[in-house]
Chain A
Amino acid sequence: MLKILTTLAVLLGFSTTAVADYTFIVPQKPGGGTSVWAQIVATEMEKYLDEKIVIKHIRGARDIPGFNKFHNELQNDPKTIMVSHGGNGVSFLNEKVDYNYADYESVGLMNLNIIVASRKDHNPYSGTTKTAFAAGSGMIPEGIAMTLLKCGSALSTEQYIACFKRKVNWVKGMSGGERRLAFKRGELDGTRENPAAFKKHVQPTIDKGIAGLWFHHGILQADGTHADDPNYPGYQMEKLFYAANRTQPEGDLYAAYKLVKSFRDGMQKALWVGKGNPNKAKLIAALKQVATNTESVSAVEKKVGKYQWLIGEAGDAHRDTLMKLITPEALSTLVKFNNEAFGIKAVYKDTLVAQK
């Protein structure tokens, strides 16, 4: 009861920052997926840090301003930790942003996977009907994977773009909630979710026989390859491609696909501090406890599914693996496909290639 009264007292003061020891910068609005994840992780880390962590939301278009602010103003603050998500990784590749993963040190990150389903009343490989799928920069890996699966092997980028336009109905202007409903209603033929959201929103339709698993992207390995997801074995895009074409996917579009899916899913949720942050060891120690304590693991898994943490140096190494995937061919093809197939404005940044 005392806690509740304290809560009310704090509420009426409209401020909690005064009691903060650390600040998590979340680049999106309160209530967003990463915001919830950050709150769960902060609550768990507080137990081992014995210090208070406060979430600060810095919102803005495509979640870029918050990360830019961290980069430009806050990264040298020893008490500030940046929370990034997969969308930041996609913007990093495609847009003019200030932030650069190479400039920070990892506290820890989660290397996730995204799962795609299609409705049973739709044949995604039909030559006559288009697959209706929600558009958006967050759907780029799915859009390219679909193109590769539906159009087959050995095409030029231009041919793939033409094939995408012929075979995919890229439905713009949908929020996550609208997408989920439209899939349930049968207006969309396919949808995608992270594993936890997949269980919640898509699995019931699969259980009813309305939909089925289509593909997933796999889990990024230390050598830059992707492995099958043990939670959904046999549905990795590369395996399905091989089964259909009797050849492994290759070429510029496949390189672009690997690049963008790695930057989105490989750092789906990540914590960063500026280089030389004196509190890094303490934060890493707390996060290691979160990653091993059964109760803490369960709290985090509820939000994102059962995936491994890469903590401290392992996170840095993982980031370095990702940076190696940036090649001129992959990046320029990604930019071209975004601009010409998806209608997503993208810029080619040769500085990214130069720094890898």
Chain B
Amino acid sequence: MIEMIAALIGGVFYGLIIGIIPAAGATTGLVALFGVISYFAHEPYLGVVFLMAVVAASTTGDSFTAILLGIPGANSAAATMVDGFPLAQQGRASYAISAAVTTSTVNGLLWGCLVFLLLPWYTNLLMILGIPELWAFTVLALATVGFVSTRFWFRSLCAITLGIFLGMVGVDPNTNEPRYTLGWFYLEDSIQIMPVVAGLFAIPELVYGLLTKSRTATIVKSEVLEGMRVVWQNRWLGLRGGFIGAFIGLLPGLGGAMADWMAYGSAVASNPNERFGNGNIKGVIGPEGANNAQKATSMIPTVLFGIPGASFAAVLMSLFMYLNFELGTPDIALDTEFFTSMTFGFLGATILVAFLCIFLIKPISYITSVPYKYYFPVLLTLIVWTAMQYTGGWEDLAMLAIFSALGFFCKYYKFSRPALLIGFILSDKIEKLSIQMLALYDIDSLIVRPIFLILVLCILGIFTYSFIKKGKIDYA
């Protein structure tokens, strides 16, 4: 038991560090473990505890830099940043982080427990939701772009169009020909997400902060309890975010960022008379509810079918394989110690990281009072390290530089960076699912799918509502 607790603590600390590193996130943190996972070969269940703790802790930790510095700790934390960072700039970082950690913890625990109840009927759900429904869910997520656009609607339209275009760089799935690569072979594997997130958000905020002001904000007062209280006041919003995240997590391959943006869109849509993007706490509670829930439920397709529910789950699955756990086989379903270790790792880390964060919020929040010049070199080094996790070559740096320039441009001229990011993340998925749907279904077979039809109606409704809605968000 002592060893399990030690593995848990180790995973929590490592996960927190990874979560806090700008743009890194759970996937990067897990990838960095490949070289050392064999140390757990003789104690594989400790490895399971450790890995699940890394996942849970990094998912909670990634909101810290998003809120404190306007730099998402992972692409899924970008949604939290839209309203979290303005709160930090107002000297209310502890309030925002406290709310983020509370809603993350509640949803992580809730869905972490429910995962095991969901297992028996998951197969049925999987059989009901086919390619048309996955396509519709993805387009529905794209529809949320209307909620993150700025009042400069034309610039937001340009941003989403550019995002979609950039997401299509690589190889055309229809013709298998290189597309928009300008003859650069490096781009045939698509533009990687890490330099996009780091370039669009991290570098501009960091450099802008360094050049224009000495520090993010001066802390007015510590508001840890107020942050917890506001989550209780908006409990249905947080739970709805958790439900959205949990549902997206169940659907293989859709990814955490999509869940967060959908939850953010739902927070904006359900509060039509409020402004977002300038420090509305509801813009923090919604998406933060989604990401831990998504991490928990995406373990279901990963464990039961050996089909990863998200990119972090694909890496996790391979790490489990090194530990001799073959996910998706009957053996694993009968291995109660494996499930116990997973549950202990995920739920234990969720609780531990919550306590750690609550105690650390006050001192950590004072980062916003530290002059940029002190942590600029450290963060820049970490950002560069993260962006170079793809090939490690100059091409990664070139992409970081290109997207940093684009990030500066968008920030300065108010082109919505969240809209650009959503377009980038979703365009490839939508294109591929469209190709699959059109190859396998015709109109006659689509109109007899009720869930698909309902989702299409939702898409049309959300698109219309989000674009005619007054009071666009202030964040670009």
Q: Which residues of A pack against B, CB within 8 Å? A: 1, 3-8, 10-12, 14, 16, 30-32, 35-36, 39-40, 43, 54-55, 58-62, 64-65, 132, 137, 169-175, 177-178, 180-182, 184-185, 187-188, 200-201, 204, 299, 302-303, 343-345
Residues in B132-156 with C-beta less than 8 Å from chain A: none
User: Known contacts being A10-B36, A59-B189, A185-B126, is A345 close to B326, with CB within 8 Å?
Assistant: no
B398–chain A nearest beta-carbon distance, Å: 15
Q: Contact partner of A201 among B40, B42, B306, B308, CB < 8 A? A: B306
B448–chain A nearest beta-carbon distance, Å: 15
For the residues of B in contact with A, the DSSP-based class is helix
Q: Which stretch in B57-65, B108-116, B223-231, B313-321 binds the other chain?
A: B313-321
- Chain A residues with Cβ under 8 A from B232's Cβ? none
Q: How many residues on B have C-beta within 8 angstroms of the other chain's C-beta atoms?
A: 64
In the bound complex, do residue A200 and residue B390 qualify as a contact, i.e. CB atoms below 8 Å apart? no
User: Known contacts being A43-B38, A60-B391, A172-B435, is A180 close to B307, with CB within 8 Å?
Assistant: yes
In the bound complex, do residue B329 and residue A200 qualify as a contact, i.e. CB atoms below 8 Å apart? yes
User: Known contacts being A181-B305, A187-B131, A200-B306, is A172 close to B439, with CB within 8 Å?
Assistant: yes
A40→B433 CA distance, assembly (Å): 34
- Chain A residues with Cβ under 8 A from B6's Cβ? 1, 4
Known: A61-B189, A169-B440. 20 other contacts (CB 8 A): A4-B6, A12-B14, A14-B385, A31-B314, A39-B38, A55-B35, A59-B391, A61-B185, A61-B186, A65-B185, A132-B440, A171-B439, A171-B440, A172-B432, A172-B439, A173-B432, A181-B305, A188-B440, A200-B306, A201-B328
A-B contact pairs, 17 of them (CB 8 A): A4-B6, A7-B36, A7-B40, A8-B10, A10-B36, A39-B322, A59-B391, A172-B436, A173-B431, A174-B432, A182-B436, A185-B130, A201-B305, A201-B328, A303-B321, A343-B176, A345-B175
Who on chain B is nearest to A196 by CB? Answer: B326
A200→B329 CA distance, assembly (Å): 6
In the bound complex, do residue A184 and residue B176 qualify as a contact, i.e. CB atoms below 8 Å apart? no
- Chain A residues with Cβ under 8 A from B391's Cβ? 58-60, 65
- Chain B residues with Cβ under 8 A from A137's Cβ? 176
- Chain B residues with Cβ under 8 A from A11's Cβ? 14, 32-33, 36
Who on chain B is nearest to A8 by CB? Answer: B10
- Chain B residues with Cβ under 8 A from A61's Cβ? 170-171, 185-186, 188-189
In the bound complex, do residue A12 and residue B17 qualify as a contact, i.e. CB atoms below 8 Å apart? yes
- Chain A residues with Cβ under 8 A from B34's Cβ? 30, 35, 39, 55
- Looking at B35, B318, B433, B436, the one whose CB has the most chain A CB atoms below 10 A away is B35
Does B3 make an interface contact (CB < 8 A)?
A: yes
User: Known contacts being A39-B322, A343-B175, is A31 close to B431, with CB within 8 Å?
Assistant: no
Does B173 make an interface contact (CB < 8 A)?
A: yes
- Looking at A31, A54, A172, A188, the one whose CB has the most chain B CB atoms below 10 A away is A31
- Chain B residues with Cβ under 8 A from A54's Cβ? 35
A36→B50 CA distance, assembly (Å): 19
B303–chain A nearest beta-carbon distance, Å: 13
In the bound complex, do residue B177 and residue A16 qualify as a contact, i.e. CB atoms below 8 Å apart? no
User: Known contacts being A11-B32, A60-B186, is A178 close to B253, with CB within 8 Å?
Assistant: yes
A306–chain B nearest beta-carbon distance, Å: 15
A60→B189 CA distance, assembly (Å): 6
B180–chain A nearest beta-carbon distance, Å: 13
Does B370 make an interface contact (CB < 8 A)?
A: no
Does B7 make an interface contact (CB < 8 A)?
A: yes
A214–chain B nearest beta-carbon distance, Å: 19
In the bound complex, do residue B185 and residue A31 qualify as a contact, i.e. CB atoms below 8 Å apart? no
A195→B176 CA distance, assembly (Å): 28
- Chain A residues with Cβ under 8 A from B32's Cβ? 11, 14
Who on chain A is nearest to B433 by CB? Answer: A173
Q: Which residues of B pack against A, CB within 8 Å? A: 3, 6-7, 10, 13-14, 17, 31-36, 38-43, 46, 50, 126-127, 130-131, 170-171, 173-177, 185-186, 188-189, 252-253, 305-308, 314-315, 317-319, 321-322, 324, 326, 328-330, 385, 390-391, 431-433, 435-436, 439-440
A301→B99 CA distance, assembly (Å): 49
B99–chain A nearest beta-carbon distance, Å: 30
Who on chain A is nearest to B382 by CB? Answer: A14
In the bound complex, do residue A173 and residue B435 qualify as a contact, i.e. CB atoms below 8 Å apart? yes
In the bound complex, do residue B46 and residue A177 qualify as a contact, i.e. CB atoms below 8 Å apart? no
Q: Which 6 A-B pairs have the closest CB atoms?
A: A61-B188, A173-B432, A16-B35, A31-B318, A173-B173, A61-B189
- Chain A residues with Cβ under 8 A from B3's Cβ? 1, 4
A6–chain B nearest beta-carbon distance, Å: 7
- Looking at A3, A5, A11, A16, the one whose CB has the most chain B CB atoms below 10 A away is A11
- Chain A residues with Cβ under 8 A from B33's Cβ? 11
In the bound complex, do residue B326 and residue A200 qualify as a contact, i.e. CB atoms below 8 Å apart? yes
- Looking at B189, B326, B436, the one whose CB has the most chain A CB atoms below 10 A away is B436
In the bound complex, do residue A181 and residue B307 qualify as a contact, i.e. CB atoms below 8 Å apart? yes
- Chain B residues with Cβ under 8 A from A185's Cβ? 126-127, 130
Q: Contact partner of B14 among A8, A35, A55, A343, CB < 8 A? A: A8
Q: Contact partner of A4 among B46, B329, B390, CB < 8 A? A: B46
In the bound complex, do residue A62 and residue B36 qualify as a contact, i.e. CB atoms below 8 Å apart? no
In the bound complex, do residue A177 and residue B185 qualify as a contact, i.e. CB atoms below 8 Å apart? no
Q: Contact partner of A62 among B188, B252, B329, CB < 8 A? A: B188
In the bound complex, do residue A16 and residue B126 qualify as a contact, i.e. CB atoms below 8 Å apart? no
- Chain A residues with Cβ under 8 A from B43's Cβ? 3-4
Who on chain B is nearest to A188 by CB? Answer: B440
A52–chain B nearest beta-carbon distance, Å: 10
Q: Contact partner of A177 among B31, B131, B307, B433, CB < 8 A? A: B307
A204→B330 CA distance, assembly (Å): 9
Who on chain B is nearest to A177 by CB? Answer: B307
- Chain A residues with Cβ under 8 A from B185's Cβ? 60-61, 64-65
- Chain A residues with Cβ under 8 A from B305's Cβ? 180-181, 201
Who on chain A is nearest to B17 by CB? Answer: A12
In the bound complex, do residue B174 and residue A343 qualify as a contact, i.e. CB atoms below 8 Å apart? yes
In the bound complex, do residue B322 and residue A40 qualify as a contact, i.e. CB atoms below 8 Å apart? yes
B432–chain A nearest beta-carbon distance, Å: 3
B73–chain A nearest beta-carbon distance, Å: 16
In the bound complex, do residue A132 and residue B189 qualify as a contact, i.e. CB atoms below 8 Å apart? no
In the bound complex, do residue B175 and residue A30 qualify as a contact, i.e. CB atoms below 8 Å apart? no
- Chain B residues with Cβ under 8 A from A303's Cβ? 321
A8–chain B nearest beta-carbon distance, Å: 5
In the bound complex, do residue A200 and residue B328 qualify as a contact, i.e. CB atoms below 8 Å apart? yes
A58→B306 CA distance, assembly (Å): 25
A43→B39 CA distance, assembly (Å): 11
Who on chain B is nearest to A60 by CB? Answer: B189
- Chain B residues with Cβ under 8 A from A65's Cβ? 185-186, 391
Who on chain A is nearest to B186 by CB? Answer: A60
Who on chain A is nearest to B309 by CB? Answer: A177
In the bound complex, do residue A182 and residue B14 qualify as a contact, i.e. CB atoms below 8 Å apart? no
Who on chain A is nearest to B328 by CB? Answer: A200
- Chain A residues with Cβ under 8 A from B321's Cβ? 36, 40, 303
A23–chain B nearest beta-carbon distance, Å: 11
A172→B176 CA distance, assembly (Å): 9
